Amino acid sequence: MSVYEEHRSRLVPGAVLWRAAGAGGAAVLPDGCMDLLWADGRLLVAGPDTGPHRAGEVAGSAFAGLRLAPGTAPALLGVPARELRDRRVDLADLWPGPEVRRLAERIASYGDPCAALEQLALARAALSGPPDPLAAEVAARLGAGEPVAAVAAAVGLGERQLHRRSLDAFGYGPRTLGRVLRLQRALALARRGLPQAEVAHRAGYADQAHYTREVRALAGTTPGAYAAASAANSETPQPSGSRTTA
C-alpha cells in the first residue's frame, strides 16, 4: 500500500516537504513546480511538467522531496528550468559528481531526509542568492488568472521578453504556466466536491467544455475520472514531484 504525506517548509519560502513509500500507479500532474528528490539513496531533480507523468518512472520504494515553488529552483540549481522540462535528472548530471556523492552520504546519515534536503537547499541558496523576484510576481499574477498581456505590462516587459524570461524561470512560456496554474485551481475545487460547471466557472474557464479539454490535455484524464479517483483515494504517492495526482 502506498503512503504519502507533506507539509510546508518552515525554512525554505514557498517550499513543501513530502515523503512517500511505494510508487503505486498514480499520475503526477503539472503544477509549475520543480522538486529536489531523495529516492533510495539517489539525489535527483524533477523538472517542470507539461503533462502527466507516471509516479513509478523514478525507481525506488522510499522517497523524500523538497517541492520548490514556480520560478525558485533555477537559481538554486544553477540550471534554466527549460533544460529540465518534463525530465527527471540525476543531480550528478547538473552538479559535480564528487559533490553530489558527499551530499548523498550526508543525507543518508542525517536520519530525516526531508530535513536534510531542506538544509541542502538553504546552504545552496546562501551561495547562489535569491531567485528572480520578477518570477514570483509573474507566477502570482498568472495564478490569479491575469491575462499574459496584462502580466507583461504590470512587470514592465514586452510579451516576447516575458516569454524568454519565463522559459528560464518556469520551463515554459507564461501562457502554458497560466494554463497549468488554472488547472491547479480547478483540481483544488474539484477535490472539494463542487459540480463541474461551478469548477469551470470559478477556475476561469470559458465553459465546462473548455475545462474538460484542458484537463484532458494537461492531466490525461477527465474531470469526472479525476473527481472519482480523488474521492476514492485522497492519500496518493507522488515520488516524481508534484502535489496533484490522478
Q: Is residue 32 part of a domain?
A: yes
Q: Is residue 71 part of a domain?
A: yes
Q: Is residue 156 part of a domain?
A: no
Q: Is residue 82 part of a domain?
A: yes
Q: Is residue 203 part of a domain?
A: no
Q: Is the pTM of this model over 0.75?
A: yes
Q: Is residue 163 part of a domain?
A: no
Q: Tens of pLDDT along the chain (246 residues)?
A: 568 899 999 999 999 999 988 655 568 899 999 999 999 999 999 999 999 998 778 888 889 999 999 999 999 999 999 999 999 999 999 999 999 999 999 999 988 999 999 999 999 999 988 888 999 999 999 999 999 999 999 999 999 999 999 999 999 999 999 999 999 999 999 999 999 999 999 999 999 999 999 999 999 999 999 988 877 665 443 434 444 455
Is residue 91 within 8 Å of 44, Cβ to Cβ? Answer: yes
Residue 105: give the domain boundaries: 3-128
Indicate the number of domains in the chain: 1
The rounded distance, in Å, linking the Cα atoms of 53 and 246 is 10
Q: Which three cell numbers stand for residue 28?
A: 503526477
Q: Is residue 87 part of a domain?
A: yes
Q: Which three cell numbers stand for residue 62?
A: 522510499
Q: Is residue 184 part of a domain?
A: no
